[in-house]
Amino acid sequence: MGARCRLCGGEASYHLDHAGMSLCSECFTRYYERKVYKTIRKHGMLRGARRVAAAVSGGKDSVALIGVLHKLMQERFREVELVAIYVDLGIPGYSEECRRIVEKVCGDLGLELHVLDLREAEGYGVPDFANTPFRRRMCGACGTVKRYHTNRMAYELGADRLATGHNLDDVVEILFELYLKGAVEEIVRMRPVSWSDHPKLVTRIKPLIELTDRENLFYVLAQGLPLLEARCPLVGESRMLRRKKLIKEIEGAIPGFRHTFYKTHLKRFLPRLEKTVEEPRLAECEVCGMPSLGRVCSYCKLVSKLRKAGARSPRPRA
């Protein structure tokens, strides 16, 4: 006989390791949606929001994100509009699969989807970074590309929030590295909400920050949402993956490690560190006009390396 649901006694489908409980599909769905709702409320993520752009990659976290946001906005945040944005990174054999999933989910949910095809719009794809000094940091370069374009798309669509699918495992993995390095300026940026007062920088929210990898996977399965099978061929044996494995091992030895680490960061360290670190002043990039810490933004610097390697320059901004 299989395990029983802790809440209703029915047949359990999902086991939540960190909570030491099994739940059936319906009880899990309620638990998950309530948790996301509470995270949103607790941090005021949608306070005063009118239009949320959700960045979808096709991976399970972002698919869970639009699934749950769509539902919550129908039931609880009726005044907020949801649109999906997707950046096609031009990775052969992978980006097509991601795009197919994103189009399917948005089609099924009746969501407005905006796609930026990097090769069409900018004349390059992420694999082209293999010919630049970034070849050893492909995931970092890709992250810069995605951060830049999701923000720009959200801004151009008139969104006042940009939601991303970062989950607890992602955040703990990044925090782990930052605390080891003592990167205080970066640590204070690891927040559930990054409020922006720059008109071209959209406030970023992480509604899934308290949900684990597995919980997002379970939600996708429980909702019958499509699941991406492909893995990015560029990731390889990255440090990021090695750290994720290490954190799984720690969690095995210290159950609840991720939740405790995150909570300690949020409640104990963040409020103190925020007082010591000055918010950087944002200027506008001389090349593209988008927000930047220096004269030229990190995205334009990245693309200028590509241009040297033979790709087309980015399109000028209106």
Q: Does 116 engage in binding with Zn ion (CB under 5 A)?
A: no
Q: Given the complex with Zn ion, which of 5 and 49 has the nearer CB atom?
A: 5
Q: Given the complex with Zn ion, which of 242 and 295 has the nearer CB atom?
A: 295
Q: Distance between CA 257 and CA 267 in Å, rounded?
A: 15
Site string for Zn ion, 278-297 (x = CB under 5 A): -------x-xx--------x
Residue 289 CB, shortest distance to Zn ion, in Å, is: 7
Q: Does 10 engage in binding with Zn ion (CB under 5 A)?
A: yes
Q: Does 201 engage in binding with Zn ion (CB under 5 A)?
A: no
Task: State the Cα torsion 265-270-272-273 to the nearest 10°.
Answer: 110
Site string for Zn ion, 60-79 (x = CB under 5 A): --------------------
Site string for Zn ion, 23-62 (x = CB under 5 A): -x--x-----------------------------------
Cα distances (angstroms) measured from residue 161 to each of 10, 13, 197, 208: 39, 34, 12, 15
Residue 291 CB, shortest distance to Zn ion, in Å, is: 9
Name the amino acid, one letter, at 289.
Answer: G
Q: Given the complex with Zn ion, which of 208 and 287 has the nearer CB atom?
A: 287
Q: Does 302 engage in binding with Zn ion (CB under 5 A)?
A: no
Buried b / exposed e across 280-299, counting CB within 10 Å, b at 16+?
eebeebebbebbbeeeebeb
Identified binder of Zn ion from the candidate list 5, 45, 98, 202, rule CB under 5 A: 5
Q: Is 114 exposed, middle or buried (0-12, 13-18, 19+ CB in 10 A)?
A: middle
Q: Does 16 engage in binding with Zn ion (CB under 5 A)?
A: no
- Please choose, out of 22-30, 182-190, 215-223, 272-280, the segment that lies near Zn ion by the rule CB under 5 A: 22-30
Angle, helix 95-109 to helix 60-75, in steps of 10 degrees: 10
For 209-233, give the DSSP string: TTS-HHHHHHHHHHTT--------T
Q: Given the complex with Zn ion, which of 106 and 288 has the nearer CB atom?
A: 288
Helix, strand or coil, per DSSP, at residue 309: coil
Residue 9 CB, shortest distance to Zn ion, in Å, is: 7
Q: Given the complex with Zn ion, which of 5 and 66 has the nearer CB atom?
A: 5
Contact 284, 133 (CB under 8 A): no
Q: Distance between CA 315 and CA 295 in Å, rounded?
A: 18
Q: Does 193 engage in binding with Zn ion (CB under 5 A)?
A: no
Q: Does 311 engage in binding with Zn ion (CB under 5 A)?
A: no
- Please choose, out of 8-16, 166-174, 221-229, 307-315, the segment that lies near Zn ion by the rule CB under 5 A: 8-16
Which structure tokens are listed for 159?
Answer: 């969104």
Rg (CA), the chain: 20
Q: Given the complex with Zn ion, which of 27 and 174 has the nearer CB atom?
A: 27
Measured in degrees and rounded to the nearest 5, phi and psi for residue 141 equal -65, -45
Q: Given the complex with Zn ion, which of 7 and 183 has the nearer CB atom?
A: 7
Q: How many chain residues interact with Zn ion (CB under 5 A)?
A: 11
Handedness of CA 160, 69, 101, 204 (dihedral sign): positive
Contact 277, 188 (CB under 8 A): yes
Name the amino acid, one letter, at 280.
Answer: P
Binding site for Zn ion (CB under 5 A): 5, 7-8, 10, 24, 27, 285, 287-288, 297, 300
